[in-house]
Amino acid sequence: MSSILEMKITEHIESNGNSGELQLKAHSAPIRGELSSAICREARLSRDPRFDGKFFVGVLTTGIYCRNVCPAVAPKEDNVRYFESQVKAAQAGLRPCLRCRPDSAPGSNPWKGTGTTLDRALGLIDAGLLCGEQALTVDELADKLGISGRYLNRLFSEGFGTSPKQYALYRQLLFAKQLLHQTQLPITQVALAAGFNSIRRFNEAFQQRLQLTPTQLRKASLKKAAKMDDIDITTEENCLSAMSSLSHGLTLYQYYRPPLDWSAQLAFYRLRAVAGMEWFTPLDKLNEGAGIMSDAAQHIACEGEAASLEYGRCIAIGKMRAVVQIAHEPSLHRFKLTVMLTADSPLEALQQFIIEVRRILDLDADMQLIEQNLQALSQLNLVPFSGLRIPGAGSLFEAVCRAILGQQVTVVQATKLLNQLVEAYGERFELNGREYRLFPTPETIRGASLSELKMPGARKLALNALAAFICDNADASVDDWLSVKGIGPWTIAYAKLRGLGDPNIFLHSDLIVKKRLLAHYLRHYDKDSVNTSGEDVLKTVDYPQLCQQLGRDIAPWGSYLTFQLWHQV
């Protein structure tokens, strides 16, 4: 687009202001219809990773269920049945495959972004509200959702064929299975990390639902790993020795459905990084002192420039203090997470930690479906950047602080303010001889002077007031923050976008988004047919109406349209 046209768009925005209310609409219709058996069959036979986790393959002759990417010999179609969730496959009496490990599949929540009661219930269950020592009853969970326990049970029965409690239990068991496969944590610690208070209860539930004991699963995983290193684990003593020799820290692999543009995601993080809280490590530095990179590192590094960097950051969840190194393995459609915890970190927060990392990386997004919806926006004729996801912030409070500090300044200026905030008020902790920083808590910011920050006093007061409101109103929703002076719709929307991973935040009141939308609209507009100039077309645009229609058409993927437009700058 010519610079003259860009200037016209800028003038139009400045003269008309940011008119129109922010549209945060949810789709009342289903996000996607059920996949047909024919599509499932093709995805299974081709092992298409874009369908990983969107359905599961039950093999009736063996009594197991698999991911569609399972490397085992494909069974005959007459012997399989397709399930939309792992829970439904388990309800049919099938156990998870030990080879493709369905517990490692990307998540697929067809209700996400709809704002429905079931969507909110799943979010609370994922946060661990039905497990652990402080577990709620089903009626207490229903009360939080503003419905009856009977209605909540009906929603889960219709959606998953089971109760909320059984759904939560199966999620716990699948996480435990993942830890048994991928880590050398003792079984007692695995049970604790999965939210079980009793090792006896854990063993009983594991054997009953997964049809083998945790010990049997652990030994099978060790045997498979030991074969690669020629380790004898026929005795318990040698088994423990094998665990020691195979242990290189707490490592977990998190899968996604392609495409994923890691270069773009890294660039977004690097431009906004906070020293001591986030860092970027070249892969060739990981084996510094060894002289050469490992074979795995060489394999990953050759697959692209983005794969040559690891992203690291600190995350706090309750009393847990964690450091995570994130390395992309694109050929396997997964990330390798190396997690380090302080000695006093409670293991029961580990599952929530992994959920947060998946949110930060947006690993459960169905990019194939999202990009199809973006291409279908006839008003824009948009050709989306493939694999562009939502780069999340470390927490909801971090996201809203980033939004407040970023008002009416450049990204570089906002990042400088953010670094000053963390330097002055962030908690510090040591791990393996290195000092790390955490983002400040609301409790710290509510009474902070913020004198280090060179910005308007009203904005400082807004930070103090919001932090105080969060501390005093623990059960308040994000939308309730609008009652705080200085907190507006744009700030709330940005917080939901990067702090909650809400997929349906169409930030059309943002100046950059508005500028890019109008540019796309003009490109699509056939000026010759009406014999008018681009400037005249801009005068006739009803921007609020245009955005209202776009909001309806793109729902529930408005956040991805926002990032597509931001990415064009």
Query: What sign for the dihedral angle of Cα 166, 167, 168, 169?
Result: positive
Q: Please enumerate in sequence order all residues whose Cβ is within 8 A of that of 353, keeping only pairs 6 or more positions apart, or say none.
A: 315, 317, 320, 322, 339
Residue 421, token pair as written in the block:
């905030």
Query: What is the model's pLDDT at position 535?
Result: 64
pLDDT at 230 exceeding the cut of 60: no
| pLDDT band for position 224 (cuts 50, 70, 90) | low
On the question of pLDDT at 295 being above 70, the answer is no
C-alpha to C-alpha distances, 253 to 90, 105, 123, 137, 423, nearest whole angstrom = 23, 10, 22, 32, 32
Give the containing element (helix H, strand E) for 335: strand 334-341
Architecture of the domain defined by 117-182+184-245: Orthogonal Bundle (1.10)
Encode pLDDT of 383-416 as tens digits.
999 999 999 999 999 999 999 999 999 999 999 9
Mean pLDDT of the residues in the chain: 85
Q: Assign 22 to helix, strand or coil.
A: coil
| Predicted pLDDT of residue 427 | 97
The CATH classification number of 37-104 equals: 3.40.10.10
Whole-number pLDDT of residue 395: 97
Q: In what order do the strands lie in the sheet with 64-66?
A: 80-83, 56-59, 64-66, 95-96
CATH number of this structure's domain 249-363: 3.30.310.20
Among 68-82, 89-103, 117-131, 434-448, where is mean pLDDT lowest?
117-131
φ/ψ (deg, to 5) at 275: -60, 135
Is the Cβ–Cβ distance between 49 and 71 less than 8 Å? no
- Per the CB < 8 A criterion, the answer to whether 453 and 362 are in contact is no
Which CATH number does 393-500 carry? 1.10.340.30
* Domain residue limits, the chain: 1-27+504-569, 37-104, 117-182+184-245, 249-363, 393-500
Question: Treating both helix axes as pointing N-terminal to C-terminal, what angle do 262-271 and 411-425 enclose, rounded to 10 degrees?
Answer: 60
Whether the pLDDT of residue 536 is over 80: the answer is no
429 vs 246: which has the higher pLDDT: 429
Mean pLDDT across 135-154: 93
Convert the pLDDT of each residue in 241-258 to its tens digit: 433 333 335 999 999 999
pTM, two decimals, is 0.85
Please give the pLDDT value at position 152: 94
Backbone phi and psi for residue 84, each to the nearest 5 degrees, phi listed first: -85, -10
Q: Which residue has the higher pLDDT, 484 or 525?
A: 484
Rounded Cα distance, 393 and 316, in Å: 12
Mean pLDDT lowest for which of 127-141, 378-392, 441-455, 531-545?
Answer: 531-545
How do residues 314-340 score in pLDDT, each as one tens digit?
A: 999 999 999 999 999 999 999 999 999
